[in-house]
Amino acid sequence: MENLTVYKASAGSGKTFTLAVEYIKLLVADPFAFRKTLAVTFTNKATEEMKMRILSQLYGIAHQLPSSQPYLKKIKEETTLSDAQIRENAALALRLLIHNYSYFRVETIDAFFQTVLRNLAKELDLTANLRLELNDNQVEEEAVDMLIEELNKTSRLLHWILEYIQDNMADDKSWNVIAQIKKFGMNIFKDYYKDHRKQLAVVFQEKDFFKNYTARLRTIRKAAEETMKKRGEKFFEIIEAHGVSVDDFKSKKSGVCGYFRKLIEGEFIDSKKVYNDTAAKATESVDAWLTKANAVAGNPMYDLVETQLMPLLQSTENERKQQAMLYATADLTLQHLNQLRLLEGIENKVQAINREVNRFMLSDTQALLQAMIDHQDSPFIFEKIGTQLENIMIDEFQDTSTVQWKNFKVLLLETMSRKGMNMIVGDVKQSIYRWRAGDWRLLNNIEAQFNPQMVTEKSLKTNYRSQRNIIAFNNTFFQKANQQLHAQLQELDEKQAQQVERAYQDVVQEIPAHKEALGMVEVTLFPKSEDYEAQTLASIVDKVDALLQMGVQEKDIAILVRKNDTIQTIGDYFLQHRPDIHLVSNEAFHLSASQAVNIIIQALSVLDNPDDILAKASLSKSYQVYIQGATFEAFNAMLQESALDKLLPQAFIAQKEQLLGLPISEMVETIYRIFELQTIKGQDAYICAFYDKLNEYTQDNIADIHNFLQLWENSLYKVSIQSSNNEGIKLVTIHKSKGLEYAHVLLPFCDWDLERNDSIVWCEPQQPPFSNLPVVPISYNKTKMLHSFYAKDYIQEYVQNSVDNLNLLYVAFTRAEQGLYVFSKKGDKINSRSKLIETCLGEVAKELNTSQITGEDDAQEATYFKFGDKLPAAKTEVKQKVDNIFLTPAENIPVTIAHNDAQVSFRQSNSSEAFLQKGLETENDKQKGYIQLGSILHAIFSKIRTQEDVPNALRTLEETGVLYDNIITKEKLLALLHQRLTDPRIAPWFTNRWTILNECTILRYNPDTQRTEERRPDRVMMDEQKIVVVDFKFGTPHAEHQQQVRDYIQLLSEMHPQPIEGYLWYIFSNQIIPVK
């Protein structure tokens, strides 16, 4: 029975509509179906859109709203229920969803697997309250820094790093390798490394492996150089012995002699440069060597060439190919060996840091689950959640990674066996997230994953988004582009070329019959010159002006770009030339764009380094200009007359020492108050986001100003905040535009390169001795890889790059509804998108009869292409009452920040109050001291397992602002803790002998009250012989204290067979009472 439907959904073909209909169909048939249905997609925004679409259409169907009629019509076609039953069930399903919203399982694929992970926390030896970390880069950089700091003279890592530095210096590269190590270290989060880490670990443990392996490769490389050099020298020895010079040969130095000269100079890898047409002809014909005068049989030169030189060239060329292969392979393999052997140390340090701060990397989720699945058909890891599911819907499947699919396939096969409704939706042509491990080939070959009888493929072919002319242009252009790409790839690998051709076999979309010949496409190709960027920027502004004059509103225009950097370039240009035009971009709203945040950072820099005159001058300037209202000219005048300190708030100068004594969170709040940052308008969102990041930092790190400033320089400065304003022109990257649509799309700088030589390709060598290492990371390089044993790896990566970049064009071009305006350049290199556009444009113009193209044949003139000249009439916006409550526009509520000094203190929650009431009632200071001290001690004991944990526990409390004041000093606290923990009766409790459970909750059901009750002993210690439970008290003994411990003993005895001991420890009096 077919119970998996695969929808191939091209751009604008109603994918979200189809998903919503299928989900609502399940609810109409069974209003409780949401409890056993899982729908996953890849972004939070898509999840939000999907949920809102389902809720709003359920409401619309239930209330017979006109906007929901298309959904009702589609559902009626595929169900036997009456209209009244459909509406009734839709209303019931909506009510059930709202009241059981946590069961509404429409979520991102990451969120789903996080749920699975938390369910398996015990099996995976993870704590239930672990925090998930998304920022791989920050964690990896922290690990490398700590690794470097901990190096010592006997460290193997230090020896490797020193070798790495020496190799770099020998190659005239920088001796400072830390940045390179950090960059390469990010490979520990890549799936390919994770798949092979066990194989690599075996190699890492083998003593002297890298030393011997590296020496062998260098020997191969050197032998190749020497072999080819000898071949070249032999040629010149022969001609010299016969009294012949280079000038006696045809073409002299640039002829065959140049071939052998290059061999001597070590240039023998690139066939195009070495074995040119002249050399190729010389292997087959004597005449190619000689001038007309000497090209006569019987001539001494003729005989020399025929009998010695031509055979030498032929054998040398055969030898060159072999030696070039060995040399290039050895050279490529050696590239990253120094960094490769550091990966295990970096990974181990990352894991150690994560364990210490109770953190788990989101990027490790899939690999960890995959390791547990381990080829089982129905592994237990999905039992807790899989038994609840019958229907699974996967959206944006083209962005799924191989390891994600392996994990999901297990669950999908389970639900398919139960004959549930399962569907996969995607479009290979919109796969643009390979850098996030997305693999378009999974969708392209989905039928191979299942029994064909269980799978139905459907295509959504009609484009409902764009106007007729836009669709017609895209149909024609991408047909031509695919044909061109297929022809290129066919020369490299026929099988992979067929894969790409198949991916674009459904590129031609159907056009709804009711659509008129509306819509406009314009392509401008500027001649290659230094003015290209300026020409493009000016053209963008001109096109925007033209659209605005035609009545198009700013909010209906989008400018799509390939890279984030380009957003800043365009934004700056508009700000300079057309400040009246409003641009909207989340990338423009970085924390570094906030004057208030910059003042805080500048103030922290001054506190961190008081001698930094530049930081102090920047702070003075910001304060005087943005707080005091001075002009830049006035500030410059003040700077000449006054010392910098006088230009800053005097409270800041006077309180520097006090500020340095504060925890960093309080320090920042005090800076905010001293500099009166609330007076700078429009900064609240930035400040809120900054505080959030500061709090995240203090949770995982020692709250040190210098380290926080380093984090700011590395990553925090570019953290962006979401913009709620949708009224301006959208300035967005192509990647972030995916799934969106805009009336008019401008695509400037459409000229990015297909290949990047800084990307890493992981290869599996097959030939010895290279195969002694199971996997090798090499830098992507066409010339070397094609002439090495890694040629197949190059071809595969080239194909992937080609598809990625064609898909980027497809996504960008298909965002447009009414107008598409492309700006690129002509005469560019073969592997750029501009070259593809240039070569396809002429063919497109011929096929689209009504299109116009000029300047195509003149390299010095711009090429202009235009198709369509009529846009739909501009719509007059009339605010209408929204009849669907789920589609009511959200109102932005402004939030302002107010500074409020608050003293951080503990709340008293235990029995020490009773102790204090005996004789201390009138001694306020002592009472305050005992209350705070008891609370602090309780917090410390909850954080420590052994005596060695005390310093870290104290540091944590100190960083949160709890310690210390005039009553409780660090010295007093340390003295008391030392005195108590070295007591012979107590010391054994704080050793490594035990498995420790601090303040862990025990749940029990009380049949009398019919409620679940919680009990939380302060400290439970377990080993194989016995269990010890201790409760800390800070007051005087009471009978109910013993009963409390008895309850703990009773509960523990029901869970564990070992003998159990119970104690009350009155810490102030140091009295220990056994409890039976």
Q: Which residues are annotated as a binding site for ATP?
A: 9-16
- How far apart are the C-alpha atoms of 4 and 412, rounded to whole Å? 9
Helix (H) or strand (E) holding 809: helix 791-813
- How far apart are the C-alpha atoms of 131 and 974, rounded to whole Å? 30
Look at residues 664, 965, 716, 700 and name the one whose alpha carbon lies nearest to residue 672: 664
Q: How far is CA 427 from the centre of its chain?
A: 21
764 touches 456 (CB < 8 A): no
Look at residues 463, 455, 508 and name the one whose alpha carbon lies nearest to residue 6: 455
- How far apart are the C-alpha atoms of 223 and 715, rounded to whole Å? 46
Look at residues 23, 741, 121, 844 and name the one whose alpha carbon lies nearest to residue 473: 844
- How far apart are the C-alpha atoms of 667 and 660, rounded to whole Å? 7
Look at residues 48, 20, 16, 12 and name the one whose alpha carbon lies nearest to residue 722: 48
- How far apart are the C-alpha atoms of 860 and 612, rounded to whole Å? 52
Cα–Cα distances in angstroms (integers) from residue 545 to residues 145, 452, 539, 542, 727, in the given order? 51, 55, 10, 5, 16
Give the torsion through C-alpha atoms of 618, 621, 627, 628, to 10 deg: 160
- How far apart are the C-alpha atoms of 742 and 730, rounded to whole Å? 9
Look at residues 1072, 994, 976 and name the one whose alpha carbon lies nearest to residue 1030: 1072
- How far apart are the C-alpha atoms of 81 and 871, rounded to whole Å? 43
Look at residues 874, 869, 864, 938 and name the one whose alpha carbon lies nearest to residue 906: 938
Helix (H) or strand (E) holding 799: helix 791-813
Q: How far is CA 854 from the centre of its chain?
A: 43
Residues in CB range of 668: below 8 A, 6 or more apart: 600, 604, 691, 694
Annotated binding-site positions: 9-16
Look at residues 711, 407, 706, 728 and name the one whose alpha carbon lies nearest to residue 575: 728
Tokens for 502? 């198949």
1030: left (phi over 0), alpha (psi -120 to 50) or beta: beta
DSSP 200-250: HHHHHHSTTHHHHHHHHHHHHHHHHHHHHHHHHHHHHHHHHHTT--GGGST
